[in-house]
Chains A and B, each alone.
Chain A
């Protein structure tokens, strides 16, 4: 009986699920004097409404730049050169807003930043200004988007600080960031991101700079706020352990491209792309105590030159001859589960514009 009911609920939720963000062929390049860095080079991914998507990959795979590209807050000289970032504020049946088409310094994009879509950065030590109080910065975020009186905004800021688990919020609201511990700063940063009740929260490695004992608390906090506030979450991390407890869907990135995408279970139990498999093997495991940790051989290639064939071929244990000549297309390996590898397809990556990704 109970099985039937939960299956029923699961099916209904599946039907109700629609996308809130759909990134298509996103390309963010950095034009420098030494050459062009293709940080994000044709990324397709989508975030389902009220679900959490995890983006994993090594440093330099473009996961952070992908997340910053959504709101166009890319450090200079980076800019979006191609692609679409479709945002469906209410439902997928609505007309989407293409965030990539909006002007970087324009009013339209500014109205979405911090209001509909919020960002939490990886380093709480430096992501808040040291010369203003926590309250000042939260109240600013609130009053930019909602016409509250100063007093009301302050009350709401205190409420939000309380909600993210900061003790004595009415005192802490007047503290400067250097008076707070790392974990408290990250909580304050999350409070600032959530104060306008965003529909999508993008968290860029929110636990990297934090003490391991606090990491779990912060993740639990994000998870519970996601349900409380009916948000979608896009979580960027290099830590597969973090992702396992947090997300519904996973996208694995390598060298500015998505190499595999699927549900949490697809990626963990049925990892297909050799890179995903290698990534999982390199997680330290209790059962393999005493044995040397497996690592992915080789290094991420030089950012200015991209291999002619598959980006991962050089480091891939299963590389075949054609892997060094052609780039594989994204291939379906299961329901809503795809991988970009010649093990699963003979097709070569086609010219940009093709839409084949997580649904």
Chain B
């Protein structure tokens, strides 16, 4: 098991190198760079720019060098902990990201947990009570959730929260807690504001996971090894948990790997609608502005998050299924 974990963690390094290369190429794909865009905008506004000044700016950020050198410079700086400078915000990338990434992680992790717990409970219920009214209701709601676009759901929930509960949704904090220091009240306020984003971002994934777990569990419930367990006298609830459920969780767990990037990218639109201070909207703006260091770093962080998510799901899988552990 230990060697499996080590191998799996080491495999992340080449993957990360590959991802950083791809990110850099993609960011470089549109013609021009931030400095030339900036200069063009200044000229449109009638500001006189000096050739020497522009060159100096380009040299300072290494923009005059060939692409592969730029990439190496970028990577080398990152290894030293320097993620570059955001042209648009005029601050080091790290400080900009540090402000927003934690909220993104909080929302992603909370969404994942919400999605898992709900999918686990509902999936197990609908499989063990197949074709019962409860199964039909849960399946209906699940399909509804799968089919409703996130931003739509966000708008509907905002309206319901406002008109029914008189609770203004938007942002992650109420105005009085916006700049307050971390207290119990602020944490509770954050949790209150998390409910809607988590539901909105998580609904589609949850609905999908319910279907997956339900189908897997239905496949397992009548397997001979379950009947064997019944025949040797294992009580019903323990039998369900120990035998079919554990096996049904295997494919369910492997979905986490692709569920996490879904959550991260699905969050962007929701974050715009709900005006959440997460990285989603910021990444969108950085890409539009060709703010390369900011965009590159953000995408790299999100990729890292995805890799970690996949790692977690792989480790869970290895723990759940000895066939994976003993393979390779």
**Chain A interface residues toward B at CB < 8 A:** 68, 71, 73, 75-76, 105, 110-115, 118-119, 121, 123, 126-133, 140-141, 144-145, 176, 178-179, 189, 192-193
Chain A minimum-CB-distance residue to B243: A129
Residues of A within 8 A of B246 (CB): 131
- Decide: A176 and B322 in contact? CB cutoff 8 A: yes
23 example contacts (A-B, Cβ-Cβ < 8 A) are as follows A68-B227, A73-B227, A75-B222, A76-B222, A112-B233, A113-B230, A118-B231, A119-B231, A123-B224, A127-B228, A128-B225, A129-B225, A129-B247, A131-B246, A131-B247, A131-B320, A131-B321, A133-B322, A140-B232, A141-B233, A176-B323, A176-B326, A192-B232
Total B residues in contact with A, Cβ cutoff 8 Å: 23
The docked-state distance in angstroms from the alpha carbon of A32 to that of B225 is 24
Residues of A within 8 A of B227 (CB): 68, 73, 75, 121, 127
Q: Is residue B31 within 8 Å, beta carbon to beta carbon, of the partner chain? A: no
Closest 9 CB pairs of A and B: A114-B232, A113-B233, A114-B233, A119-B231, A141-B232, A129-B225, A127-B224, A110-B233, A126-B224
Q: Is residue B27 within 8 Å, beta carbon to beta carbon, of the partner chain? A: no
The docked-state distance in angstroms from the alpha carbon of A68 to that of B222 is 13
Q: A129-B247, A176-B326 are in contact. Are A115 and B224 (CB under 8 A)?
A: no
- Within the complex, the shortest CB–CB distance from A32 to chain B, in Å, comes to 12
| Cβ-defined partner of B231 (8 Å) among A73, A130, A140 | A73
Q: Is the interface of B mostly helix, strand, loop or mixed?
A: helix
| Cβ-defined partner of B228 (8 Å) among A115, A121, A133 | A121
| Cβ-defined partner of B233 (8 Å) among A76, A115, A176 | A115
Q: Is the interface of A mostly helix, strand, loop or mixed?
A: mixed
Chain A minimum-CB-distance residue to B226: A129
The docked-state distance in angstroms from the alpha carbon of A126 to that of B235 is 20
CB neighbors of A among B233-274 (8 A): 233-236, 242-243, 246-247
The docked-state distance in angstroms from the alpha carbon of A133 to that of B233 is 18
| Cβ-defined partner of B323 (8 Å) among A75, A141, A178 | A178
The docked-state distance in angstroms from the alpha carbon of A133 to that of B235 is 20
- Decide: B228 and A119 in contact? CB cutoff 8 A: yes
Q: A127-B224, A130-B323 are in contact. Are A73 and B230 (CB under 8 A)?
A: yes
- Within the complex, the shortest CB–CB distance from A179 to chain B, in Å, comes to 7
Q: Is residue B65 within 8 Å, beta carbon to beta carbon, of the partner chain? A: no
